[in-house]
Amino acid sequence: MTDNLIEIPGYTVHGLLGKGGMAEVYLATQQSLHRKVAVKVLLNAGDQEFNTRFIQEGHIVASLHNPSIITIYDINKLADGRFYMAMEFVPGGDLAQHKGRIFEPERALAIVRQIAGALAVVHGKGLIHRDIKPANILFRNDGTAVLTDFGIAKDMQLDTELTHFGVAVGSPAYSSPEQTQCQRLDARSDIYSLGLILLEMLTGNNPYRGSNYTQTVLNQVQMPVPVLPAHLAMFQALLERMLTKDPARRLPDCQTLLAALGQIELGDPDATQIRPAVTVSSPAASSVKVVPDKTVAAASRLRPFYWAIAGLLLVCALVVGGIYYQQQVRIADLLAQAEQRLGQGQLIEPQQDSAEHYFQQVLQLDTDNPAALAGLQRVLDLRIEGLLKSAAASIADKRWLLPEDDSAVFYYRQVLLIAPDNAQAANGLLQVAELYRDMAKESYRKRQFPAALEMIERGLQAQPDNPELLAMQADHQKMLASARAAEAERSARKKKQAGATQRSAPSGEKNWLERWIDTAVGD
């Protein structure tokens, strides 16, 4: 948060969410509708070309309708001439925050399926995104993946600027071979990028990312599709068709991709393939032949050559051994740094100096390193533990649903994004839903029907499929009508009683019997 926040008419600005080279994003409340929004504001008002691109982005996204595409609410200009764009606030973070994490195949499939559905809409409009990467995939509180940042999206029919200017746009670690080579693009380029994201979620690693830009580009152009481990073999054929270098052999569109995703059958994650042991039989005695003297003589003449080969092999072994030693030293150093960051509580931040980062660096050198794998699991466990503690504190402070980014529901859903089967988080959401259920019942008892409906709706925000709350929501109008009928009946009865009283006591004075009846009957 900053002390001097930007002023945006019609919005209450709460703080800075992030800043890039061309724009900054603020968390704000849209005053007219009382909803949280993310407001992207350009840093410079004078760049007409970028202003045009910014407005174009807003128009593009506003024309796209899909649950997994970010929603644009408003585009306008500040008093200083800078443009801003108000859009849906997505509090669940982005996929890039989970770098190095190995997703459950079911969760990875769900994310790719949602983004593929969004891209089907994008491509159906004749557009290509051109920057599909983890940082542009956000998560709502319910876990829905949302595609954002259409700043470099392009009409497929007009995509000529790359070949004219020889400038590659997008992120090289997730760019298609044709994109890195500044060739004409179509929907298949986005499919390639999504394939890399699927590969990274399944394995925890993007093997195409090199140590520098040039190496990354070469990898995208030359590196073959990696062979997946046995427990992920059901994804091999799909990734081969998504990541082939030749666009003509790639899946042609996202409808075909969605069909292919639907055909993947996930096996038992606990199943293990056991290969039979290899047995080596000894040759029969009758097969042993006596070497003639001439052969022995020839072997003697070749002996110096054999010694030379042996010497060369020895040198190679020493070199390889030296490299192996250096690698082990490097791994030990990375593990030490990872453990230090764990002790300091730097689990995933900062991205390049966290425990997760160093454990992942180890796995780049040794993909099956047990210490690194165990370390990443510890990072995951500690993150979950911290989120559950924050949720418990929010429950104690009665911050059940609000504020959106500091409530029990927010923290429980963060846990479920990391570990979808976490029982404690699921029970926590149930607990919040039941709290609102109880408050709704109390409001009904007091005949406060609007308050009751509000409590029901809040409870459903915590747990949308809660059967009790859904039943109460369905019966609300019936209960309201019944209450109104009862009230009308009471009112009519009171009027009748009042008329009778006036007839029996014209003076307006009630005797003790009449007062007692009034008290006994009540309202």
Enumerate the active-site residues: 131
**Nearest-angstrom CA–CA distance, 442 and 479:** 14
DSSP-assigned letter for residue 2:
-
CA 260 to chain centre: 22
Looking from the CA of 11 toward its CB, the CA atoms found within 13 Å total 27
For 131, residues 6+ apart whose C-beta sits below 8 A from its C-beta are: 149, 151, 152, 153, 169, 170, 171, 193
For 178, residues 6+ apart whose C-beta sits below 8 A from its C-beta are: 184, 185, 189, 247
Give the orientation angle of helix 512-521 with respect to helix 467-504, to 10 degrees.
170
Burial 308-319 (b: 16+ CB within 10 A, else e): eeeeeeeeeeee
Task: Quickly list H helices, 263-349.
Answer: 293-301, 303-344
Q: Which of 191, 59, 68, 73 is nearest to 125 (CA)?
A: 59
H/E stretch holding 145? strand 145-147
Burial 25-36 (b: 16+ CB within 10 A, else e): bbbbbbeeeeeb
- Burial (CB < 10 A; 0-12, 13-18, 19+), residue 222, is exposed
8 A C-beta contact, residue 152 and residue 131: yes
**Nearest-angstrom CA–CA distance, 102 and 361:** 14
For 84, residues 6+ apart whose C-beta sits below 8 A from its C-beta are: 8, 39, 40, 41, 42, 75, 76, 77, 78
DSSP-assigned letter for residue 343:
H
Q: What share of the chain is helix, strand, coil (3-state, %, to 5)?
A: 55, 10, 35
Task: Quickly list H helices, 400-466.
Answer: 408-418, 423-445, 449-462
8 A C-beta contact, residue 260 and residue 251: yes
Residue 16, strand partner residues: 26
**Nearest-angstrom CA–CA distance, 255 and 517:** 75
H/E stretch holding 173? none
**Nearest-angstrom CA–CA distance, 341 and 456:** 44
